[in-house]
């Protein structure tokens, strides 16, 4: 194992980390967001388009806003109309798939891929980039990776230390109690879901613009779901989500590098997914879900 490998693992884990943070923001407010995958798809497409047409910064903005808009549908459906969270999320995933294909044909004249896009200029981490063996890890780093890493302590801070975070968490634990204390339950849930959408959009944008250099249909490869798994594995905490994402990123980095003439290629590609299953099976019983996760809130009743 070398720094090259670690760098690859970090790149692989970034979309999972962003998806996990996205899931966490939504679920901490009590809304299950299985539509993450769809929000990532939309984000990857619009990120690619924004970057292709106006440059990477606009790509980032387009990706996040696209994710946020899709999340807005989820929020209205689940919070206002009390649609089952999973049903709404799955519907959005299907919608996102169809919509991007449609838009891709309209905009790029081909169904499954965009033109090449422009990525952000990469950064070298000052000081560290002189240490020889760390070089692959700290040079030519995508700024979005750094942003994702910064979002971990930032999310922790906002959730645990601020008024906004306390209220958001209270709504995910016991909305009735929060309501009786004058917390605006619906507002908090909307906030959680919208932040979630923006982060999922960012995750998608990272995949297309930063990682691949273009949008390709199916490029999310279920990373939204893996993000949810990482969120659970990380016990709905940002730091935990980071640890879990790194694990998945690492598994993926291995699966890319591992070449074997004995084991068929497809089996090696399965490693991260199999790991997800194994980890979830072992961990879920220990996990502490927000108490009112996935439950519609209505006033009244004892």
Partner 1 sequence: MISIKGVTKRFPGVLANDHISLEVREGEIHAIVGENGAGKSTLMKILYGLYQPDEGSIELRGHPVRIDGPARAVALGIGMVHQHFMLIPRFTVLENIILGHETARFGVIDRRASEQRVKELAGQYGFAIDPKAMVATLSVGQQQRVEILKVLYRGADLLILDEPTAVLAPQEVTELFANLRLLAAGGKTIIFIGHKLDEVMEIADRVTVLRRGQVVGTMAAGETSREGLAEMMVGRPVLFRIQKNPCHPGAPLLSLDDVTVAGVGGTARGHGRGHGVGGSQGPAWRTRIARAAVDGLSLQVNGGEIYGIAGVEGNGQTELVEGIFNLQPVTSGRVMVLGKDVTNRPTAQIRAGGIAYIPEDRHRRGLVLPMSIWENLILGSHRRREFVRRALLDRDRILGHATKLREQYDIRLADMDAPVLALSGGNQQKVIVARELAQSPQVVIASQPTRGLDVGAAEFVRQRLLEMRDAGRAVLLISADLEEVLSLSDRVGVMFRGKIVAEFPAEEATPQLLGPYMLGGAAPAEMEIPLADARGEGGEARV
Ligand X SMILES: Nc1ncnc2c1ncn2[C@@H]1O[C@H](COP(=O)(O)OP(=O)(O)OP(=O)(O)O)[C@@H](O)[C@H]1O
Q: Write out the residues near ligand X by the rule CB under 6 A.
A: 300-301
- Distance in Å, CB of 302 to ligand X, minimum: 6
4 makes contact, choosing from partner 1, ligand X, none, with CB < 5 to 8 Å by partner type, with: none
Across-strand partners of 123? 141
- Distance in Å, CB of 56 to partner 1, minimum: 30
- Distance in Å, CB of 125 to ligand X, minimum: 59
Residues in 152-211 that interact with partner 1 by CB under 8 A: 161-164, 166-167, 169-170, 173-174, 176-183
At residue 116, φ and ψ (nearest 5 deg) are -70, 145
DSSP codes joined into one string, 194-254: HHHHHHHHHHHHIIIIIIISEEETTTTTTHHHHHHHHHHHTTT-HHHHHHHHHHHHHHHHH
Q: Could you give the angle at the alpha carbon of 10 between the alpha carbons of 248 and 204, nearest 5°?
A: 80
Residue (of 141, 148, 133, 131) closest to 14 by Cα position: 148
The residue among 126 and 300 lying less far from ligand X, judged by its C-beta, is 300
Residue (of 280, 213, 216) closest to 248 by Cα position: 280
169 makes contact, choosing from ligand X, partner 1, none, with CB < 5 to 8 Å by partner type, with: partner 1
134 makes contact, choosing from ligand X, partner 1, none, with CB < 5 to 8 Å by partner type, with: none
- Distance in Å, CB of 28 to partner 1, minimum: 11
The residue among 60 and 242 lying less far from partner 1, judged by its C-beta, is 242
**Residues with Cβ within 8 Å of residue 66, at least 6 apart in sequence:** 39, 42, 43, 45, 46, 47, 201
The residue among 161 and 257 lying less far from partner 1, judged by its C-beta, is 161
> For residues 226 and 55, what is the distance between their CA atoms, to the nearest angstrom?
29
- Distance in Å, CB of 185 to ligand X, minimum: 17
Three-state DSSP at 104 gives helix
Total of residues contacting partner 1 (CB under 8 A): 25
Residue (of 289, 295, 297, 287) closest to 86 by Cα position: 295
The residue among 278 and 291 lying less far from partner 1, judged by its C-beta, is 291
- Distance in Å, CB of 171 to ligand X, minimum: 21
The residue among 133 and 302 lying less far from ligand X, judged by its C-beta, is 302
DSSP codes joined into one string, 60-84: HHHHHHHHHHHHHHHHIIIIIS---
> For residues 206 and 40, what is the distance between their CA atoms, to the nearest angstrom?
9
216 makes contact, choosing from partner 1, ligand X, none, with CB < 5 to 8 Å by partner type, with: none
Residues in the chain: 302
Residues in 257-296 that interact with partner 1 by CB under 8 A: 288-289, 291
15 near 223, Cβ under 8 Å? yes
**One character per residue 63-82, x = contact with partner 1 (rule: CB under 8 A):** --------------------
- Distance in Å, CB of 176 to ligand X, minimum: 12
**One character per residue 112-151, x = contact with partner 1 (rule: CB under 8 A):** ----------------------------------------
Which residues are at the interface with partner 1 (CB under 8 A)? 161-164, 166-167, 169-170, 173-174, 176-183, 288-289, 291, 299-302
């Amino acid at each position: 194992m070398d720094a090259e490998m670690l760098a690859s693992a970090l790149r692989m884990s970034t979309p999972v980390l962003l998806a996990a943070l996205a899931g966490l923001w939504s679920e901490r407010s009590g809304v299950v967001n299985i539509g993450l995958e769809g929000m990532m798809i939309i984000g990857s497409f619009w990120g690619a388009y924004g970057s292709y047409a106006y440059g990477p910064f606009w790509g980032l903005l387009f990706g996040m806003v696209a994710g946020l808009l899709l999340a807005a549908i989820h929020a209205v459906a689940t919070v206002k109309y009390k649609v089952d969270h999973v049903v709404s999320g799955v519907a959005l995933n299907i919608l996102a798939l169809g919509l991007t294909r449609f838009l891709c044909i309209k905009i790029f004249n081909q169904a499954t891929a965009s033109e090449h896009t422009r990525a952000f200029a990469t950064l070298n981490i000052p000081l560290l980039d002189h240490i020889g063996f760390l070089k692959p890890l700290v040079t030519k780093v995508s700024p979005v990776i750094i942003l994702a890493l910064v979002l971990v302590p930032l999310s922790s801070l906002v959730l645990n230390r601020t008024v906004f975070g306390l209220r958001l968490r209270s709504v995910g634990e016991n909305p009735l109690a929060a309501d009786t204390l004058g917390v605006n339950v619906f507002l908090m849930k909307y906030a959680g879901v919208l932040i979630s959408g923006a982060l999922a959009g960012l995750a998608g944008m990272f995949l297309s613009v930063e990682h691949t250099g273009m949008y390709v249909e199916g490029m999310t490869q279920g990373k939204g779901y893996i993000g949810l798994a990482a969120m659970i594995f990380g016990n709905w905490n940002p730091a935990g989500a980071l640890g879990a994402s790194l694990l998945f990123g690492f598994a993926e980095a291995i699966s890319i590098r591992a070449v074997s003439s004995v084991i068929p290629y497809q089996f090696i590609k399965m490693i991260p997914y199999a790991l997800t299953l194994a980890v979830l099976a072992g961990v879920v019983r220990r996990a502490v879900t927000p108490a009112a996760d996935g439950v519609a809130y209505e006033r009244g009743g004892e």
